[in-house]
Amino acid sequence: MKFSLNIDHVATLRNARGEKHPNPVTFALLAEKFGVDGIVVHLREDRRHINDSDVFLLKELLTTKLDLEMAATDEIITIACEVKPELATIVPEKRRELTTEGGLNVVDNLETLRNAINRLHSANIPVSLFIEPEINQIDAASSINTDFIEIHTGIFANSKSEDEMYDEMEKIRLAVKHAKKLQLGVNAGHGLDYLNIKEFRQIEGIDEVSIGHAVIARSVFFGLEEAIHTMRNLIKNG
């Protein structure tokens, strides 16, 4: 299971004062040095954290890979086609949400998503769709030629009891199996942290986890190197 770091919160901190610090690009380069497998950013329509120039600079300077999270809007697709990230992850985006609230409804938005994937593919950008661990959503995603899915792990992460958590893990296990049968790459993320990763890592077949808030928050206390090494170690060894 590879580990990509989402650095949106570093840009949030920078923007809080309208200053240049902390610089998310410098932070990303350090994160690479400390051993992450890739960097994830979400270029939102309202540019509340990461902005266009961050994204272009990241693409130029990263030596691992850039996963650009994005809504399937004309403006952001055009930017993505110029940036050419190593992966474009399409997510649903609502203006007033604090963070991404759940997976895409691929079944009901087939044509919009098909067009977005076609445009990104014609710029040679592999695409991932952020979805719930549901068989009908995976089938729909596969039918429009996505390369990857990213399974939304928010329900697993927020589960209120062990039963709920194990039920959701079982759902994710079946979803991963199904996606692999369809030859899709499988990423996962949202709400994963230093406690729940110990259970989550036992699910087989997930190519990569995308983690942001927990690692950035821990780095405030213990530094980025410690935060990354501890997460890497948990992913590998539990």
Would you name the residues annotated as active-site residues? Answer: 42, 69, 190
- What is the smallest separation between the CB atom of 56 and ligand PXP, expressed in angstroms? 20
Compute the Cα dihedral for 96, 8, 208, 141 and give only its sign.
positive
DSSP of 136-178, one letter per residue? Answer: HHHHHHHHTT-SEEEEE-HHHHT-SSHHHHHHHHHHHHHHHHH
Contacts (CB under 6 A) with ligand PXP, residues 154-193: 189-192
Interaction pattern, residues 38-57, with ligand PXP; x per rule: CB under 6 A: ----x---------------
The answer to the question of residue 208 lying near ligand PXP (CB under 6 A) is no
Q: Which residues contact 195 (CB under 8 A, 6 or more apart)?
A: none
Q: Which amino acid appears at position 65 of this protein?
A: K
Nearer to ligand PXP, 169 or 211 (CB): 211
Nearer to ligand PXP, 83 or 215 (CB): 215
State how far the Cα of 211 lies from the Cα of 17, in Å rounded to an integer: 25
Nearer to ligand PXP, 62 or 191 (CB): 191
* Strand duo 127-131 + 87-90: pairing: parallel
Nearer to ligand PXP, 4 or 142 (CB): 4
Pick the binder of ligand PXP from 32, 54, 132, 150 (CB under 6 A).
150
Interaction pattern, residues 106-135, with ligand PXP; x per rule: CB under 6 A: ------------------------x-----
Among 29-37, 107-115, 131-139, 208-216, the segment contacting ligand PXP (CB under 6 A): 208-216
Distances (CA, A) of 75 to 79, 100, 110, 234: 7, 19, 19, 38
Q: In sequence order, which ranges of 62-126 are alpha helices (DSSP H)?
A: 74-83, 110-122
Pick the binder of ligand PXP from 49, 93, 100, 156 (CB under 6 A).
100
Q: Which residues contact 49 (CB under 8 A, 6 or more apart)?
A: 8, 9, 11, 12, 15, 41, 42
Q: How far is CA 215 from the centre of its chain?
A: 14
Contacts (CB under 6 A) with ligand PXP, residues 5-34: 6, 8
Nearer to ligand PXP, 34 or 194 (CB): 194
Residues engaged in binding ligand PXP (CB under 6 A): 6, 8, 42, 69, 89, 91, 99-100, 130, 150, 189-192, 210-214
